[in-house]
Copies of this chain bind each other. A is one copy, B any other.
Amino acid sequence: MLTYSEENYLKTIFHLSLGQQQGISTNAIAAKIETKASSVTDMIKKLNEKKLIKYQKYQGVTLTAEGLLAAKMIVRKHRLWEVFLVDKLGFSWDEVHDVAEELEHIKSEKLINKLDAFLEYPTQDPHGDPIPNAKGEIKQVDKKLLSEVETNKIVICVGVKDSSSEFLQYLDKQKISLGSKIEITDIEPFDQSYTVKIDNHNITITKKIASNLFVKEQ
């Protein structure tokens, strides 16, 4: 049985490992969890003894198969609860993260599987991130950043890279949401600002915004 804290470390290592070949550094974990490197070292030793991570002093850590599955189950719970909060309770997508951070630690497989069924087996959370199924399988949708799309191509917004409430609230303000039709009509060479058509209105966004929106071509 994992403690609350152990679960948070596994989840964090999982997130930091995405698209990453090397081991995850102590400092990277400390930064993400907002704790001290020395605390991370302590926890790393514990997770290593439990065989949830592979660890050699000074070499960073990677998840073992068992640790990976545990991490995916936490992510699964987190994202299913987010769907619940948005779809059933009417939370907005920028409000759900913190509550889901607590809910993800509730220990009941039956609960999470019944919740999954109640929500009709969603495959994405409110930010477009994939929800692992009960076996830990993740259906990767192919998507790219808006900043990588060529001009005059119509794409659909399918996710956000940054899901801070600041960014999400900005998107709300600009009426950009999952499913929005987006077309880059122009990129200004001077400041790299993008003129884009969102559904039926035209706005200008910075490159930073374009680099945080996932879209799919279709």
Contacts and interface: CB of A to CB of B under 8 A. Distances in A.
Interface of A: 85, 88-91, 95, 98-99, 102-103, 106-108, 110-111, 114-115, 118
A118 B115 CA distance: 15
B88 A111 contact: no
Nearest to A102: B106
Give the copy number. Answer: 2
B89 A99 contact: no
Contact of A111 (B99, B111, B115, B118): B99
B99 A108 contact: yes
A171 B41 CA distance: 52
Q: Which of A89, A90, A95, A118 is the most central at the interface, judged by chain B CB atoms within 10 Å of its CB? A: A89
15 contacts: A88-B118, A89-B114, A89-B115, A89-B118, A90-B114, A90-B118, A91-B110, A95-B110, A98-B108, A99-B106, A99-B108, A99-B111, A102-B106, A103-B106, A106-B106
A118 B91 CA distance: 12
A151 B162 CA distance: 68
A91 B51 CA distance: 34
Contacts of A95: 110
A27 to B, nearest CB: 29
A110 B111 CA distance: 21
